[in-house]
Chains A and B, each alone.
Chain A
Amino acid sequence: MSLFDARFYEFNVHLPPDADSLTRFALEAKRYGYSGIALINSKTDRLDNIPQDFSIYSAVEVSGKPSKLRDEVKRYRAGRDILIARGGDEEFNRAAVETAGLDILLQPAKFNHVLAKAAYDNSVTLGFNAGSIIRLRGEARVRELRTMRANLKFARKYEVAMILTCSPNSSYDLRSPREAAALAGLFGMTEVEAVRAMSAVPLDILRRKSPDYIQEGVEVI
Chain B
Amino acid sequence: MTTIPTLRDKKRYIAFEVTSEQIITRSELSEEIQNSVSSLFGDVGANEINAGLVSFERGYGILRCAREKTTQSRAALACINKLRGARASILVLGISGTIKGAMEKFIQQPPNKDS
Interface residues of A (CB under 8 A from B): 28, 31-33, 133-135, 137-138, 170-176, 178-180, 182-183, 185-186
Contacts and interface: CB of A to CB of B under 8 A. Distances in A.
Nearest to B17: A31
A134 B71 CA distance: 15
Given A134-B79, A183-B78, A176 B92 contact: yes
Interface residues of B, number: 19
A177 to B, nearest CB: 11
Interface stretch (B2-10, B23-31, B83-91, B96-104): B83-91
B47 interface: no
B78 A182 contact: yes
Contact of B87 (A28, A170, A179): A170
Given A134-B81, A138-B39, A179 B92 contact: yes
A167 to B, nearest CB: 12
A33 B87 contact: no
Of B74, B75, B91, most A-chain CB atoms within 10 Å: B75
A139 to B, nearest CB: 11
B75 A32 contact: no
A182 B87 CA distance: 21
A175 B39 contact: no
Contacts of B72: 182, 185
Contacts of B63: none
Interface of A is mostly: helix
Nearest to B72: A182
B89 A172 contact: yes
A173 B89 contact: yes
Contacts of A137: 39
Contact of B78 (A31, A170, A172, A179): A179
Contacts of B40: 186
A175 B88 contact: no
8 contacts: A134-B81, A172-B19, A172-B88, A176-B91, A176-B92, A182-B75, A182-B78, A183-B75
A102 to B, nearest CB: 29
Given A32-B91, A172-B19, A172-B89, A182 B81 contact: no
Given A170-B87, A185-B72, 11 more contacts: A138-B39, A171-B19, A171-B89, A172-B89, A173-B89, A174-B89, A175-B89, A179-B74, A179-B91, A183-B79, A186-B75
B58 interface: no
A174 B91 CA distance: 9
B71 A185 contact: yes
A172 B20 CA distance: 8
Contacts of B87: 170, 172-173
Contacts of A176: 91-92
A185 B92 contact: no
B61 to A, nearest CB: 15
B77 interface: yes
Given A134-B81, A135-B81, A185 B91 contact: no
